Structure 1
Amino acid sequence: MKDFRIIIDGDSCPVLKIIEEISKEYNIKAIIFCSYSHVPNERLDMEYLIVDSAPQAVDLAIINYIKKDDIIVTQDYGLASIVLSKGGRAISPSGNIYRDQQIDLLLYNRHLNSEIRRAGGRTKGPRKRNEMDNIKFKRNLIKLIQES
């Protein structure tokens, strides 16, 4: 197994307990990046790297920190795209593994939705999380770990 870490975009990550459990089980270092204004209330058994509350500060810190083969947990398609270009792997909290083959389409759809909203239109938001999202996340995070 390669040497890698699990890096968490922690400014609203609903799967921190699952990551903590899996990182302990597989003996992988987990590091949560968050801004001063988004530090989780519950202290978890992982390293915390706290950054300024400036816009995109967490994303920039992650981009500068990651190494090839690291696994990043993020909802941000833009961050996921940069992670993939640097040889990392990325997964969303709902368990979707970001792959090179799909990231351009995800970014394009995000751009289109932004244009619609800017023109005064409405777009559909994300659906509410459910227990199946947690199950899918856990299964696919383990899959990424085992692919190493």
Structure 2
Amino acid sequence: MKNIRIVIDGDSCPVIKIIEDISIKYNITAILFCSYCHVPNKKSNIKYCIVDSYPQAVDLAIINDIKNGDIVVTQDYGLASIVLSKGARAISPNGKIYLNESIDILLYNRHLNKEIRKAGGKIKGNHKRNRKDNINFERNLIRLIEDTQNLL
């Protein structure tokens, strides 16, 4: 059976501890990709891939390393889109599972919001992270792991 990995876009990931706990429980390798400017406190079970701090360096490292069956934790719709195209799965730190069927609309909305901001408009920001986000993330990450194990 192919090994599943959890790949973390780690420059600003609020769920590293949850990922660590789940990776131990399911005996899955977790790899945190981050720039040398954003290295969090070392976690015992998580492997690190530290890259340069130039723009998109973490994303490019993940894209080059990703394998079919991996699960990527990211807030970046663009990265999620590429991950999905390579046969991997993607989930946001809030627990939203990115799907091929809906990624295009997320990318389009991101583009529209950027255009609105560029024209001087205001966009409603994200809500403050709460306990419910952690519960949703944990539940959906476990679901992705179990679904992926059944497919491999």
Structure 2: runs of 5 or more not aligned: none
- Equivalent residue for 1:100? 100
Runs of 4+, deviation exceeding 2 Å: none
Letter in 1 for 2:43: L
- Equivalent residue for 2:87? 87
Letter in 1 for 2:63: I
Letter in 2 for 1:143: R
SS at match of 1:81: helix
In the alignment, does 2:14 pair up with 1:6? no
Q: Aligned-residue CA RMSD in angstroms? A: 0.8
- Equivalent residue for 1:138? 138
Distance in 2 of aligned mates of 1:121 and 1:147: 41
SS at match of 1:49: strand
SS at match of 1:11: helix
Distance in 2 of aligned mates of 1:43 and 1:111: 35
Provide the identity percentage: 70
- Equivalent residue for 1:128? 128
Distance in 2 of aligned mates of 1:88 and 1:62: 11
Distance in 1 of aligned mates of 2:43 and 2:119: 42
1:22-41 alignment to 2 at 5 Å?
22-40=22-40
Q: TM-score, normalised by structure 2?
A: 0.95
Q: In the TM superposition, what whole-angstrom CA distance separates every residue of 1:78-129 from its partner, at most 9, and x where no partner exists?
A: 0000000000000000000000111000000000000000111111111110
**Corresponding residue pairs, total:** 147
Letter in 2 for 1:28: I
Q: TM-score, normalised by structure 1?
A: 0.97
Distance in 2 of aligned mates of 1:104 and 1:115: 17
Distance in 2 of aligned mates of 1:36 and 1:2: 30
1:2 is displaced (CA, Å) by 3.9
Distance in 2 of aligned mates of 1:2 and 1:142: 17
SS at match of 1:109: helix
Higher share of residues assigned helix:
2
In the alignment, does 2:117 pair up with 1:117? yes
